[in-house]
Chain A
Amino acid sequence: MKQNNSKEELDQTLKSLDEKSEWNQVDRESLKKRIFTDIDGKSTFKRNIQRQRLKYYMALAAVGMLLFLLVSPNLFSLGENGGEGLQNPLNEFDIKNYEQYAVTLQNENGYTKEEASKFAFEVELLKVALINKAIEIGIEITDEDAKKQAKEEREMFESGKLSDAEKKSIEETIVDLGITEEQFWNEYVVQTGAKMQLMIERLHDYHNENYPEMHWDDFANQIVGNFRIKEAEKIKKFKGEIGLD
């Protein structure tokens, strides 16, 4: 259908957008019922929400960290002939990672500078604490395992299962890194995102086997808590370097 989106027509079409979409009335009524049931039992509801938020935060921090590692152009530096390997060990604080993620949170997720700094620090802390714990209990990821993981991720990318935004994000990362697509999948993803993902997965397996009664969020929280005590000096130094009180 041919459409005209001159300014006036576009404005008119935008105005009519609400009228041209319809919310399922059964769902609407059912939501109303849910709202008023919750209003009637408000105190219980509030307690549940608080619990859910705490749980959600930990899960979010974990996946946010993984995303960051996967797409951050600063974690890994490639030499002229391909890959030279990791510049910064995954189990150490990395200012460039932190800064890059904080900027992303501000530019793409709408965080204020202060919120972005805090959240990026929490993510960096969680990353370092979990990876150190994984190393401490003897988890090692071979290049072969990481390559296999990276291959699966690439297949998903190429099969069109990712959204446009996700594809765009990966393509931009390749450009930012200044490497070829082959180098991105065969070297960058292998050494960073894939290894990190597998280490966290193995740590998760370890948790399931050894502490089945404990929720993963609590387990991760405990690791971060212990790390804060054990590495207080290191954390203080990092916070000083990034200017976070």
Chain B
Amino acid sequence: MPKDTKTIIDEAYEQYSDAIFKYICMMVRDYQQGQDLTHETFIKAYENYESFEGKAELKTWLFRIAHNVTIDYVRKKKPLRLIESFLNNKKDPSPLPEENLKIQEDVKVLYKGISNLKPAYKEVIILRKIKGFSINETSEILHWSENKVKVTLHRAMPLLKKELEKEGYEHETKQ
């Protein structure tokens, strides 16, 4: 008997919500917002499940939705966050979400370095290097050509290294 959509989303949540939430959290640097966007991702998945044709893996499809809701938020939110902080005398509203998302000490710098990159660079590193998606899957999630994924990753990695050096992450080049 085929599973109903609710059951499928329930199982998908159990399997992928952790990875999706961490991806979103790294993109937006806000724990609560990370949860809200994860919520939106699964609601959209439920609403649009009929359009999922099974050509891609369910995980890839879910990340594609997560990418869409996150990038939409990032585009709109950036000016808002900056001006709110600047004009309303608030503290930086976007620290690392460490209080709620427990991050081990040895990777905090790395987490911060990635967070400081611009969205496209950040995203391609997360998907390719952290989540382990293939070039093809990454191109599906981001709606980019495979070549663009390669080129962007190629540009992003040196910038990440630069960010890490700024944060005091020591760099040793192997001979």
Band of interface residues on B: 35 or more
Partner of A16, one of B35, B107, B118: B107
Contact A161 B92 (CB under 8 A): yes
Q: Per-residue 0/1 for B1-41: is the Cβ within 8 Å of any A Cβ (1 yes, 0 no)? A: 00000100110010001110110000000000001001100
CB-CB nearest in chain A for B21: A23
Shortest B144–chain A CB gap in Å is: 12
Contact A39 B6 (CB under 8 A): yes
Count, chain A residues at interface, CB 8 A: 57
Which B99-125 residues sit within 8 Å CB-CB of chain A?
100-107, 109-111, 116, 118-120, 125
Contact A35 B86 (CB under 8 A): no
Is the contact region of chain B dominated by helix, strand, or loop, or is it mixed? helix
How many angstroms between the C-alpha atoms of A22 and B172 in the bound complex? 29
How many angstroms between the C-alpha atoms of A5 and B111 in the bound complex? 14
Contact partners of B91 in chain A: CB under 8 A: 161
Query: Given A21-B104, A22-B102, A163-B85, are A14 and B130 neighbors across the interface (CB < 8 Å)?
Result: yes
Contact partners of B9 in chain A: CB under 8 A: 35, 39
Contact B170 A3 (CB under 8 A): yes
Contact partners of A67 in chain B: CB under 8 A: 79, 82-83, 86
Most chain-A Cβ atoms within 10 A of its Cβ — which of B35, B75, B79, B85? B79
Q: Per-residue 0/1 for A1-26: is the Cβ within 8 Å of any B Cβ (1 yes, 0 no)? A: 11111111011011111101111100
Chain A interface (Cβ within 8 Å of chain B)?
1-8, 10-11, 13-18, 20-24, 27-28, 31-32, 34-36, 38-39, 42, 45, 56, 59-60, 63-64, 66-68, 70, 105, 108-111, 152-153, 156, 161-166, 169, 197
Other A-B contacts than A21-B102, A34-B39, 6 sampled, CB-CB below 8 A, are A5-B171, A18-B22, A20-B104, A21-B101, A63-B80, A66-B83
Q: List 9 A-B contacts (CB under 8 A).
A: A1-B105, A17-B110, A18-B22, A21-B22, A24-B100, A27-B100, A60-B76, A67-B79, A161-B90
